[in-house]
Structure 1
């Protein structure tokens, strides 16, 4: 089941994120995707940090990133976030990064998240259920 509400966040690539080739290092894309997921959750009244204080953790169990093109320093880009319910225990966040000037698709991520409790076992009553 896909949530029809898409979320997007605009960011800018910073010069210190670039490698010797002059493009944003691939590891930074994971940070971009993570930041957008957290903002998406806050937008849906799910506070990642507050949950962690309660012993409820949204743990990444799998992430796939497909790089299509390279961002460069000071490129502005938009990250979209769309959750998809995989199972009762898993949610996949489908995310895309677009260069806002060219509208070019830069990267696609599929991040699977499982909600776990203090005992590190999956919780059946995930706060992510409210997204669907």
Structure 2
């Protein structure tokens, strides 16, 4: 997988209830972390997942490829970083999680998202425009 150019990051902390009997974060929670990061990214560019839905656009995960490199534990602080590109009708999010303060990569994923615009596969022009403007400013 190519090295992504991150355009957003969000710091978080592991909560006790996210850990399993082994004392490590249950694998399903990494999808929660990456989804929360995508939604926070939308807010950072002036969009809202809920408002997109109300306007007739539903962004849905079509594919998720995850790689677990090391576990997170209760109270660990970490940063979730996001890069994205568009490939045809897919919005491809490269999302990596790094343990803090070491900045050690512990999780990596490639998430393909598609948009249903009024029930039909399509593009979200507002997202395209805002991401394009963000990339030009970096």
Q: TM-score, normalised by structure 2?
A: 0.87
Distance 2:79 2:47 in 1: 21
Please list every run of at least 4 consecutive aligned residues from structure 1 whose deviation after the TM superposition is greater than 2 angstroms.
124-128
What root-mean-square deviation, in Å, do the aligned CA atoms of Structure 1 and Structure 2 show?
1.5
Distance 2:57 2:87 in 1: 19
Matches within 5 A, 1:93-108: 93-108=93-108
Alpha-carbon deviation of 1:6?
1.4
In 2, are the aligned partners of 1:75 and 1:99 still within 8 Å (CA)? yes
The residue that corresponds to 2:126 in the other structure is: 127
Deviating more after overlay: 31-40 vs 102-111: 102-111
Distance 1:55 1:34 in 2: 20
Alpha-carbon deviation of 1:8?
0.4
Aligned residues: 128
Q: TM-score, normalised by structure 1?
A: 0.90
Distance 2:76 2:34 in 1: 16
Q: 1:105 to 1:124 in 2, by over 3 A?
A: closer
In 1, are the aligned partners of 2:98 and 2:104 still within 8 Å (CA)? yes
2:12 counterpart SS class: strand
In structure 1, runs of 5+ residues without a counterpart are none
